[in-house]
Amino acid sequence: MNPPIPVITGGSPASDALTLALGVLWVLLPGGLVLVAGGVRKVPVLLGAAPATSVGISTLAATVSGLSGTRFSWWLVLAATAGLLAVLALVRGRAGAFETERVPRGPALAAAALLLAATATALELFRRGMGALATPSQEHDTLTHALVTARILRTGDAAPWRGQVLDVVTGTPAQYYPNGLHQWAALVAQSGDVSAVAGFNATSVVVLAVVQPLGLLALAARTLPKEWLPAGGVAAIASVLAYQPLQAMHHDSGALPNAAAIAFAPGVVALLLPPPRTPGRGVVGILPAIALACAGAVTVHPSAALTIGGGFLGAYVFGLVLRAETTLSAPDRARSRAESVVSAGTWLAGLAGAGVLVAALVGTALTQAAAAGGGSSSRFARDIPAESLPDALHRVFTLPFQGGLDLASTREQWWLAVPVLLGVALAGRRAGAVALTWLVWSALALAYLLDLHAPGLDLVWDTAWNSYFRVVAHGSPWAWLLVGVGVLRLSTLLARRWTPVLAPVLATVLGAALLTANVLDVFSIEVQALRERYAEPTYQRIDADDQAAGRYLAAHVQPGQRVMNSGNDGSTYDYVLDGVPILATTAVPTTPLPDLRTLTARFHDLPTDPEVQALVAKYDIGWVVVDSVAPGLPLKPADAVFFGQPGYDVPPGLTGLDGVEGLRKVFTSGTVSVWQVTLP
């Protein structure tokens, strides 16, 4: 076992607590105020939909700043919130879309206790696995997230259609990148005066500890009877202990925006489902908030459109099929159905109008993403080979860890898998829509594992980057809600032997038992998974040596100069933490940067290669920084041909720089070296 790689952290428990509190405020307060102004009074829906709505408001502010050339900042987001509140006050009048519905005290208290337990568990998980919020992740994708956040902080450029800037000095070329999380992280870092790393890590924690649990509570409030609200609290507990998808994205690939979009989705679905009765003006008043919530979720990651759209259709259609009004007389039932049809038609027409607003706000960014190929399966190989039906059923229904933590998929999460199936068995008519929606998503996951193809299926595979983990993640919220249904129904059946009043108490006890069982079974494993990328990383991109080199460069680089670097090591953090003008911001230079690809492949030929010399002069490259220890990186076929090798840890052009004429080594710390370019 290699010794832990030393990584410099910062902050204190008190400052980290303040940063997390700011993260919660920025993701709940703006959206919550707009939802209240739009007529939402149902507290679970208000809290569950507020996060996506808040990101939608920041996206609106980022769009305005991008079009006007102003800086994206916390005050601009507050100004956008105030403007929206004024507009909604004029539009909505007194009509409300989601009026207050009284929930019995017992279920409400049980749901709150379970929700707090879920949040506390998630916070403790990250405290042990991440350490301080300033601890950088070694995953390259997460490094990219820190860089995008840092550039928003340094330049104020948060336009969604310019999410990822490939040259941090000039700002061009720039391409679409889902930057909703990064807008939020920049607000946290700016208002809390912390680094981009701490700001982004805070949002990662809050997504698991707050956003996802609140969304599941909202989904329970909109899809289940009101006395079943504790099912949402149990679902929150299940979600924070499940390895897939959120925790796995920290460990296996760093694709946090995709996983975060899954966490944002339940609250948006809860907002989209039609209320029992809605006046026309109430629908008009809530439209801007709905549009902002949908736009916010899509800005976090475009796959949210499929998660939310599929979840809404499943819950709405199956709910219509299963809903029965047998307690009414025939004339009353006919009149009630007629009123429901009119109300539903008004609501769906309103959603169509909200869709127009969403397209106006994020349509340009999504068009750019589609033009670039999006997640087309033609660009990515399957992450899991096709499987037999028995193996596919095992993978879908026993919930193994999978991924880098469980390569053979033999480590099942039985404490979650069994309650999911119990929820299906006990769902009945009242939770049938939840069960059927999850079964449809599970059928899609099975279809992927069996390598089935059809136009609709291929669209799902494409939007999931041809990845099973992303396909199956769409159904995760419904799986966790089924855990809650199973526990709630079981507690109700047990309470009948004594008194129904005990049902919420039993649900709380069973939820606590589920939490305890999961903690005893998997908590230490999941903590270790986080530590492998944060507190005690098992491979290195950034360590104390990289940070020492970054500080040296920040003190010596002259205005106008650039630093040649490898995007596959910790040097990208030189820009994130110290503002060093590095050239390489991705592990492999992309084709829109032909000059950088040339330098990455042939920089060591500086004394003899006129093209390299011309590029050094063109970009005024005065320094070079290289870490000789970096993770191995397999190259795509086209890149392998260009670089003349199947993969690298250090780009070929940045190897063997000692003794190269025109370079003088001026700094060394461990495995990291800095050279000054002395060539005239």
The DSSP annotation for 191-235 comes to HHT--HHHHHHHHHHHIIIIIHHHHHHHHHHHHS-GGGTHHHHHH
Size of the chain in residues: 680
Six token digits for residue 455 = 């136009």
- DSSP-derived letter for residue 251 is I
Task: For the beta carbon of residue 352, count every other beta carbon within 10 angstroms.
Answer: 10
User: Do 265 and 307 contact (CB within 8 A), yes or no?
Assistant: yes
Neighbours of 79 (CB within 10 A): 13
Contact 426, 485 (CB under 8 A): yes
Tokens of 414: 């039985």
Question: What does the angle CA 371 – CA 376 – CA 380 come to, to the nearest 5 degrees?
Answer: 130
Strand spans (E) along 11-66: none
The pLDDT value recorded for residue 1 is 38
Give the tens place of pLDDT for each residue, 137-187: 888 888 889 999 999 999 999 998 888 888 888 888 888 889 999 999 999
CA distances to 5, 17, 60, 150, 220 from 137, rounded to whole Å, are: 12, 19, 29, 15, 34
pLDDT, residue 325, reads: 43
- Answering whether pTM is above 0.85, one says yes
What pLDDT is attached to residue 328?
37
Each residue's pLDDT tens digit, 510-553? 889 988 888 888 888 888 888 888 888 887 888 889 999 999 99
As beta bridge partners, residue 673 has 626, 668
pLDDT of 530 reads: 87
| Alpha carbons 172 and 167: distance in angstroms, whole number | 6
Paired sense of beta strands 633-634 and 621-627, if any: unpaired
Q: In angstroms, rounded to a whole number, what is the distance separating the alpha carbons of residues 545 and 182? A: 27
3-class secondary-structure state, position 486: helix
- Residues in the chain predicted with pLDDT less than 50, given as ranges, are 1-2, 4, 324-330, 332-333, 335-336, 375-377
Question: What is the distance between the alpha carbons of residues 244 and 400, in angstroms, rounded to a whole number?
Answer: 9
